[in-house]
Amino acid sequence: MSENIAIEPTGGSPPQPSSPDSSLMAPATQLGTMASKYAHSEATPMEEDIPPVSQKPEDVARKSLDMIKDMKKQALLLFATYMNSNKSDPDSPETMQALSLYKEFEQKIVAAKEAHKSMTSLFEDRQDTKDCGNNLGLVRLVVPNDLPVLQLRGEALWRKKADPFDSAYDFCNTFETVLHAHGLTLNSNWERLLPLCMNPEQVSWCREALMDKRYTWKEVRPIVLDHFDTPYRKFLLMVEVGSMRQAPYESNREYSNRFQKMRREAGMEDGTQLAVTYFASLKPSVKTVAQVAISSHLGAKLPVSINQIIDLVLASGEDSAFSIKNPHKRGRLTDEEQSSRSSLTSSS
């Protein structure tokens, strides 16, 4: 290893004979020679491989979406290959290999989508935080007149004319929708507008727990949910999700949207158990048709996401033709409707 650290002179002249003075200057000369060599050396192959970071986040995001779109086209070709092979011989090694290739590529698309979502969210948060101090003094501040009121069903209503929300989850969604509709970024405006949605007790909590802490809305939202959607309220919502059933004339898409909304309100995490709960709540005719597609697609594996089952149920095409006339509401019934239904049931 010792011969690898020898340093050749940078100039073309032969080495000079040593002298007392030159020997004293040798370390400095060698150090200068080493610094000169590395200061003027060409880029190494590793340095040449690193691309310059000069692209804007929105340009990278656009290219990322184009990449995902191309990946979907490739996945479609792989699935078509699997279908053709499955049609001729479902149990052949070629069919199993085609299915394996498609599923493997499907996971790559999911990973690419998650990476794209994470990247765009990261730079959106940074940009909003950066612009927060710069723009507030330059732009005329807007206060939307349709801000939601943070009052929940089953609790004392402090603003009688405003409808209560089923959960803090619903309130946060509406708050975000209103701000987006008025062109207001959440990170720059939540601290200014959120207290306007609260009563004095809630404002007091908000000032202590949230304000003047440089939180982004992504950090604030779970704090609001944990404070107002208490464990007992979440427990009741989970019970309600477990007892949900698809109505006779409710289309698959309508019911799937209603189920997803309810389970998000309850804070139920996606997974195998949630997928089973959803499938068990479907009407018998839908389950009969969908289980064929589920068996063919999953094989010997359990579903890992409710979205897998929902996609297969929707693809089965069992939606009712009478769904347009369906009187069933997508959300939960109001207190008046529930009491009316109970009185009719008891009288009959």
What pLDDT, on the 0 to 100 scale, is given for residue 174? 95
Residues 69 and 129 reside in one and the same domain: yes
Residues 238 and 320 reside in one and the same domain: yes
Handedness of CA 199, 184, 123, 170 (dihedral sign): positive
For residue 147, tell me if it sits in a domain.
no
Residues 241 and 313 reside in one and the same domain: yes
What pLDDT, on the 0 to 100 scale, is given for residue 16? 52
| Total count of domains within the chain | 3
Residues 297 and 239 reside in one and the same domain: yes
For residue 113, tell me if it sits in a domain.
yes
Residues 200 and 246 reside in one and the same domain: no
| Beta strands per DSSP E along 207-329 | none
For residue 69, tell me if it sits in a domain.
yes
The residue from 88, 114, 135 where one domain ends is 135
Range of the domain at 222: 168-229
Which tens digits make up the pLDDT trace of 11-64? 444 555 444 444 444 444 444 444 444 444 455 554 455 555 567 777 787 888
For residue 25, tell me if it sits in a domain.
no
Q: Average the pLDDT over each of 31-35, 241-245, 279-283 and give the range with the smallest value.
A: 31-35
52-70 burial by CB neighbour count: b if 16+ within 10 A, else e? eeeeeeeeebeebeeeeee
Which tens digits make up the pLDDT trace of 260-272? 988 988 888 899 9
For residue 150, tell me if it sits in a domain.
no
Residue 325 per-residue DSSP state: G
For residue 23, tell me if it sits in a domain.
no
Measuring CA to CA, which residue among 136, 91, 131, 164 is closest to residue 332? Answer: 164
- pLDDT at position 342 over 80: no
CATH at 293: 1.10.1200
pTM of the predicted model, to two decimals?
A: 0.45
Q: Cα separations (Å) of 36 from 2, 15, 27, 111, 118? A: 22, 17, 14, 46, 43
What pLDDT, on the 0 to 100 scale, is given for residue 326? 44
What are phi and psi for residue 152, nearest 5 degrees? -110, 150
Please count the other Cβ atoms lying within 10 Å of the Cβ belonging to residue 228. 20
For residue 68, tell me if it sits in a domain.
yes
When comparing pLDDT for 129 and 197, which is higher?
197
Average pLDDT of the residues of the chain: 77
For residue 33, tell me if it sits in a domain.
no
The residue from 115, 135, 155 where one domain ends is 135
Residues 123 and 190 reside in one and the same domain: no
- pLDDT at position 143 over 80: yes
Segment 129-157 shows an average pLDDT of: 73
- Classify 152 as helix, strand or coil: strand
What pLDDT, on the 0 to 100 scale, is given for residue 130? 53
Locate 108 and state its tokens. 């790559």
Please count the other Cβ atoms lying within 10 Å of the Cβ belonging to residue 287. 17
What are phi and psi for residue 208, nearest 5 degrees? -80, -40
